[in-house]
Chains A and B, each alone.
Chain A
Amino acid sequence: MSVDTKIAFDQDYIKSFSEKRQEPKWMESLRLKALEKSENLPMPKPDKTKIDKWNFTSFKHDVPADAISSLDDLPKDVRELVAKDQQSGNLLVHRNSTPVFHQLSEELKEQGVIFTDIQTALQEHGDLVEKYFMKDVMKVDENRLTAVHAALLNGGTFLYVPRNVEVDVPVQALYWQEDPEAGLFNHVIIVAEDNSSVTYVENYLSYGNDEESVANIIAEVHVGQNARVTFGSVDNFSKGVTTYVNRRANVARDGKVDWALAQMNDGNTVSTNTTHLIGDGSNADSKTVTIGRGDQKQNFTNQIIHHGKNSEGMLLVHGVQKDSASAIFNGVTKIEHGAAKSNGEQTQRVLMMNEKARGDANPILLIDEDDVMAGHAASVGKVDPIQLYYLQSRGISRHEAERLIIHGFLAPVINELPIEGVRKRAVEVTEGKVN
């Protein structure tokens, strides 16, 4: 495995890549600056996980992919990811980071909704994208990987919902890495203007065993005043893929974001999910489930930062660790000075299925304001042998008993995921991981 953390792409490559994609000038220069910065920026330092030996440099960047003419061209298991109610709805399919299928209902188009791949968005709505691209929510130079992300961006989605528009069917983006060595530098921007609402669901998947690759994913969510965004994801990268994923939202007054994240990768993963509750009365609800297996190492930082008064944040994380997998769960509730009458709650639970599995849950409460409510619960435990005995005493095999216990442990979160498609898929992926 490569331990070199410098990527092997130069200014000329980036320039011609940007040109080939017919991007606006600002994007080209943003990429070039990002590339330059990336060389001196430090790697991210997730709390309690060392990532310096992880592969962030070995991947293919520009992998061609044929367009598909209908969903029937997709392999069966990819096709099955398309939600039933999505077949004539709002769908975007990426294949090796290239958009190959796109559908948006006329009704939404007429209402001014933009739902398109990031490449098209840069070409057709360059000014709008520029307004939001790594400006307020994320910054290019947060660390080396955010800069590399900007330099090498090769896929993604732009979803824009104008004021007062309520999108009542979910929009779905499917990122299918057909070539297990194809690197994915995926950028998602969601803009929900004031009083709008939208549900976005994304599925990541790759096949392969030990083929090395990298997924570097950033999602920026702008929730306007009194707007509501529900963001669902099922991440399912294969074992050889190292994932850096950073999903972040800024929420304005009385806005709300719901995160429903099924983080089911099989490779090493460092994930951050952040909500800034900027406006008074803003609200975030973040739910995450994950299963680690094999010798996978993962780090999950889930945080809600309260700036506005009367803001409310709820974090819920359930993680199962199998085999010799290890994971760190950092739950951060931060209440800034001035965020009076805010309420921040978090619960993190980790279940370890055997002796070699490791899990750590760190509740971190940073409270800079007196007049608030905050609470946390964290538990880490091994599967109860008496529970297994009880189930087995009814004829259920050890394996099946573990399966039931894992499903049961994740159920309180999975059942609460606000999107049916994500819920179903989370159960299916869980099933695949426990069998």
Chain B
Amino acid sequence: MAASTLKIENLHVSIEGKEILKGLNLEINGGEIHAVMGPNGTGKSTLASAIMGHPKYEITEGSVFLDNEDVLEMEVDERAKAGLFLAMQYPSEVSGVTNADFLRSAINARREEGDEISLMKFIKKLDKKMAELDMGEEFAQRYLNEGFSGGEKKRNEILQLMMLEPKIAVLDEIDSGLDIDALKVVSKGVNAMRSDDFGCLIITHYQRLLNYITPDKVHVMMQGRIVKSGGAELAQRLESEGYDWIKQELGIKDETVGQEA
């Protein structure tokens, strides 16, 4: 498997007629970990949702390509099968469908008919990944996210990431609501994925997570655009000084979407 590239150019996204993303550019290559940081309400989740094809978000301009495939032309499931993954900020709960059945369907969806993963192999892999994430065995048979605590849902998103092994993953606030031990476990999971074939975009508004997963590039998002990019040191500066210096530098009064510079 060769390394993949996710290329986002001049992306404009609206929700219910309101423009949220206003010309966003970003390129993520296999082997790289990017972090997108920014205060609340600056369009980070909108970016993630637009990449995955959330039904409420409308792309009005721009393009998203995974290698030479036009992502915006694809159905949601085709995007996943092409190698994209999104760990959602607020994962859905699906009653009556066990985690294990769901994961097996997801794995088999990317395999040819007649070439489904054997139950033995699946269980072995699931057990291994759950152990790595300190998840109790009972999670396999619990209904998908139903009644999970915030932290359990986040772990479950990472479990899916590890089971599905995408080429490019977007992790939207995978750290929020996690205590330090859970944060370490989740980071361990993501770090275990690190390889030349895996690219990752971590969305967060705390620097905390980046102590455990060192990013190659850090981007700051405000008003629906990336307003500053740098290396890991940028995250550290944000941690110690906050966002105000960037706002001053760029003459931004209100960083949330809908406010003009």
Interface flag for B80 (CB, 8 Å): yes
Q: Contact flags (1/0) for A369-393 with B, using CB distance below 8 Å?
A: 0000000000000001111011111
A393 B94 Cβ-Cβ under 8 A: no
Given known pairs A400-B105, A404-B102, the reply for A392 and B76 (CB within 8 Å) is: yes
CA distance A32 to B62 in the complex (A): 79
B109 A397 Cβ-Cβ under 8 A: yes
Interface flag for B233 (CB, 8 Å): no
B77 A392 Cβ-Cβ under 8 A: yes
Q: Which of A391, A401, A405 has the most CB of B within 10 A?
A: A391
CA distance A390 to B75 in the complex (A): 12
Residue of A nearest to B143 (CB): A408
A409 B95 Cβ-Cβ under 8 A: yes
Q: Is the interface of A mostly helix, strand, loop or mixed?
A: helix
A-B contact pairs, 20 of them (CB 8 A): A384-B92, A386-B55, A386-B92, A387-B92, A387-B94, A389-B54, A390-B88, A390-B92, A391-B102, A393-B52, A393-B53, A393-B85, A394-B102, A394-B109, A394-B160, A395-B77, A395-B81, A396-B106, A398-B77, A408-B97
Chain A positions within 8 Å of B, measured between CB atoms, are 384-387, 389-398, 400-401, 404-405, 407-412
Q: Contact flags (1/0) for B141-155 with A, using CB distance below 8 Å?
A: 001000000000000
Chain B residue contacts of A384, Cβ below 8 A = 92
Q: Which 5 A-B pairs have the closest CB atoms?
A: A408-B96, A411-B96, A395-B80, A390-B92, A392-B76
CA distance A400 to B86 in the complex (A): 19
A404 B95 Cβ-Cβ under 8 A: no
Give the contacts of B89-124 with A (CB-CB under 8 A): 91-97, 101-102, 105-106, 109-110
Chain A residue contacts of B109, Cβ below 8 A = 394-397, 400
A394 B80 Cβ-Cβ under 8 A: yes
Chain B residue contacts of A389, Cβ below 8 A = 52-55, 76, 92
Interface flag for B164 (CB, 8 Å): yes
Residue of A nearest to B95 (CB): A408
B106 A395 Cβ-Cβ under 8 A: yes
CA distance A390 to B105 in the complex (A): 13
Chain B residue contacts of A410, Cβ below 8 A = 96
Chain B residue contacts of A411, Cβ below 8 A = 95-97
Chain B residue contacts of A391, Cβ below 8 A = 92, 94, 102
Q: Which of A394, A398, A404, A405 contacts B75 (CB 8 A)?
A: A398
CA distance A407 to B76 in the complex (A): 21
CB distance from A100 to the nearest CB of B (A): 38
B97 A407 Cβ-Cβ under 8 A: yes
Chain B residue contacts of A409, Cβ below 8 A = 95-96
Chain A residue contacts of B54, Cβ below 8 A = 386, 389
A385 B96 Cβ-Cβ under 8 A: no
Q: Which of B54, B55, B79, B105 has the most CB of A within 10 A?
A: B105
Counting chain B residues whose Cβ lies within 8 A of the other chain, the interface size class is 20 to 34
CA distance A401 to B96 in the complex (A): 13
Chain B residue contacts of A387, Cβ below 8 A = 92-94
Q: Is the interface of B mostly helix, strand, loop or mixed?
A: mixed
Chain B positions within 8 Å of A, measured between CB atoms, are 52-55, 75-77, 79-81, 85-86, 88, 91-97, 101-102, 105-106, 109-110, 143, 160, 164
Chain A residue contacts of B92, Cβ below 8 A = 384, 386-387, 389-391
Seed contacts A395-B77, A404-B102; 10 additional CB < 8 Å A-B pairs: A389-B54, A392-B75, A398-B75, A401-B77, A404-B97, A404-B101, A407-B97, A411-B95, A411-B96, A411-B97
CA distance A389 to B80 in the complex (A): 11
CA distance A384 to B88 in the complex (A): 16
B80 A405 Cβ-Cβ under 8 A: no
Given known pairs A387-B92, A389-B76, the reply for A394 and B97 (CB within 8 Å) is: no
A408 B94 Cβ-Cβ under 8 A: yes
CB distance from B98 to the nearest CB of A (A): 9
Chain B residue contacts of A390, Cβ below 8 A = 88, 91-92, 94
Chain B residue contacts of A401, Cβ below 8 A = 77
A395 B75 Cβ-Cβ under 8 A: no
Q: Which of A384, A392, A409 has the most CB of B within 10 A?
A: A392
B97 A405 Cβ-Cβ under 8 A: yes
CA distance A394 to B110 in the complex (A): 9
Q: Which of B80, B88, B143 contacts A392 (CB 8 A)?
A: B80
CA distance A389 to B109 in the complex (A): 15
A396 B94 Cβ-Cβ under 8 A: no
CA distance A126 to B85 in the complex (A): 69
CA distance A391 to B106 in the complex (A): 8
Given known pairs A392-B77, A393-B76, the reply for A404 and B94 (CB within 8 Å) is: yes
A397 B88 Cβ-Cβ under 8 A: no
Chain B residue contacts of A392, Cβ below 8 A = 53, 75-77, 80
B96 A395 Cβ-Cβ under 8 A: no
CB distance from B13 to the nearest CB of A (A): 15
CA distance A396 to B102 in the complex (A): 9
Chain B residue contacts of A405, Cβ below 8 A = 94, 97
CA distance A397 to B55 in the complex (A): 15
Residue of B nearest to A414 (CB): B96
A395 B101 Cβ-Cβ under 8 A: no
CA distance A304 to B249 in the complex (A): 72
CB distance from A408 to the nearest CB of B (A): 3
CA distance A145 to B217 in the complex (A): 75
A396 B55 Cβ-Cβ under 8 A: no
Chain B residue contacts of A408, Cβ below 8 A = 94-97, 143
CA distance A392 to B106 in the complex (A): 9
Residue of B nearest to A413 (CB): B96
CB distance from B44 to the nearest CB of A (A): 17
CB distance from A291 to the nearest CB of B (A): 14
A394 B96 Cβ-Cβ under 8 A: no
CB distance from A308 to the nearest CB of B (A): 35
Residue of B nearest to A401 (CB): B77
A407 B55 Cβ-Cβ under 8 A: no
CB distance from B199 to the nearest CB of A (A): 17
Q: Which of A394, A400, A401, A409 has the most CB of B within 10 A?
A: A394
CA distance A394 to B96 in the complex (A): 18
